[in-house]
Amino acid sequence: MAVFEGNFTQNISSLKFAIIIGRFNDLVTDKLLSGAQDCLKRHGINVNPEGTQVDYVWVPGSLEIPMVARQLALSTNYNAIICLGAVIRGDTPHFDYVCNEAVKGIAATSFETGIPVIFGVLTTDTMQQALERAGIKSNLGWNYAMSAIEMANLMLQIKR
């Protein structure tokens, strides 16, 4: 028997990622993106959009993230896909609809395609809480990128 665990050191130069970013609340999503890029870069991944390791796709809001994630996952060009969005309750009466559709669609995409799709959509009551998670206190963009590297490497191990 064996223990499988994703790591942060192997296959680094061959890994490919897509990052999908919602423009809605881009004060927050821009910062999540910076955190994710910082993490990928410090693990040796070339985050330059002109390079071969990370593609970036901007969408209007979190509701559009799942369909784009699905399309990218079906292309099989990526080891993992990171979805970045920010849904803030104070801004909208349809907070719950946007959150539910985003989480359902992202989870379904992972499940259907076998490509790790990381749920990096912040769901908070206030802009203050969102900003605290996007850089004022910590930057969860970093954590989402860590999950992407870990899952990319784990899938390479268990697909063998």
Q: What positions carry a catalytic annotation?
A: 94
Does 22 bind ligand INI (CB under 6 A)? Our answer is yes
Q: Could you tell me the smallest distance in angstroms from the CB atom of residue 113 to ligand INI? A: 22
Query: Is the Cα torsion angle 45, 51, 57, 58 positive or negative in sign?
Result: positive
CA 78 to the chain's CA centroid: 12
Does 39 bind ligand INI (CB under 6 A)? Our answer is no
Give the closest residue to 81 by CA, choosing from 126, 33, 19: 19
Tell me the residue nearest to ligand INI as measured from the CB.
Answer: 61
Does 20 bind ligand INI (CB under 6 A)? Our answer is no
Nearer residue to ligand INI within complex by CB, 94 or 104: 94
Nearer residue to ligand INI within complex by CB, 29 or 79: 29
| C-alpha to C-alpha distance for 97 and 105, rounded to whole angstroms | 12
Does 24 bind ligand INI (CB under 6 A)? Our answer is yes
Helix or strand or coil: residue 40?
helix
| C-alpha to C-alpha distance for 129 and 131, rounded to whole angstroms | 5
Does 62 bind ligand INI (CB under 6 A)? Our answer is yes
Does 106 bind ligand INI (CB under 6 A)? Our answer is no
